[in-house]
Amino acid sequence: MNDRMMKAVLYDRYGGPEVLYLSRVPRPEPAPGEVLVKVHAFSVNGGELAARAGRLRLLTGRKFPKRVGLDFAGEVAASGAGVTRLAEGDLVWGVLGRTSGFGSAAEYVTVSAERVGRLPDGLDPVDAAALPVAATAITALRDKAGLRPRERLLVRGAAGGVGNAAVQLGRAYGAEVTALARAANLDFVRGLGAHEAVDHRTVRPAELGRFDVVLDTVGTDIRTFRRLLNPGGRMVTIAVDLERPAASLGYLAASVVHGRGRVRAFSGDFKQAQWDDLARHVAEGKLSPAVDTVFPLEETAAAHRALESGGVRGKYVVRVV
């Protein structure tokens, strides 16, 4: 077998999960400042589903084949020139940078050494693959919202990848956590630490009361949920309404540019400090991985299909080795 080749998941046209296929492509080599990571597992994220379906084609363009996979957990297989912090065999996790696009659905991936961190001792890489998005929740609640003990926190999409981490963190930070989720997932989010779990399909936002912090992982009805904020309240959103992206982005931009600081938006582009934070939260017991189902690499399309169907509890993880 040619060790310069590797398996990777590709697609040649926009569409549903059925467009994904497993192929063999050249194995990348690390450039200076990069590491080559042998991927053990990765998770499936909503943004890559939207990209694969063509909803982001203004950004992703029409050049094919394209790749999927954003985050990863694995081990360092080789290092480029100038990398001293990491060594071959180190267990690491990370997220590909904004300019790198997708591509972790593969046996190997190259990434800047600054964009990966070491796994906490004893954490299995497959479980670890469910946690990189938790760095988003840490940044959202602690850094962007400044969540304080005894404040009321509302988490939209509480059973999902970022949402489940936010529920755990909100409880660990001493907040009173209300979790919005499907009826079938209410016991799940209670088990994560939510003080109150509410079926978002049967309870209207106006019936929820007032909150000091709202974390939105959904992207729709931002104005409606902004109205639930107490004086001095903060809303952080990490999502865009994919049915109306222009309007959604326009509202968020106006919130920032015109000083409506109650709504704050950001997208994760994490480096070493964030990975150190994430590892510390795991080691301190503030965060635990929530893995719904583990799929083999050959069934990446099935993992995409499952996430699109809704109802995920934590993360769908794809095992590579």
- 3-state SS, 191-253, equals HHCCCEEEECCCCCHHHCCCEEEEEECCCCCHHHHHCCEEEEEEEEECCCCCCCHHHHHHHHH
Please tell me the predicted confidence (pLDDT) of residue 281. Answer: 96
pLDDT tens per residue, range 162-213: 999 999 999 999 999 999 999 999 999 999 999 999 999 999 999 999 999 9
Question: What's the number of domains the chain is made of?
Answer: 2
Assigned domain for 22 exists = yes
Q: Give the lowest-confidence range in 88-97, 115-124, 233-242, 252-261.
A: 252-261
Q: Cα-Cα-Cα-Cα dihedral of 264, 267, 271, 277, to 10°?
A: 50
Q: Which domain holds residue 122?
A: 5-130+290-319
Residue 50 token pair: 């939207």
Same domain? For 11 and 111 the reply is: yes
Please tell me the predicted confidence (pLDDT) of residue 251. Answer: 43
Same domain? For 261 and 153 the reply is: yes
Assigned domain for 37 exists = yes
Look up the pTM and report it: 0.91
Same domain? For 162 and 209 the reply is: yes
Assigned domain for 39 exists = yes
Place of tokens 């005894």: 150
Please tell me the predicted confidence (pLDDT) of residue 10. Answer: 98
Average pLDDT, the chain: 91
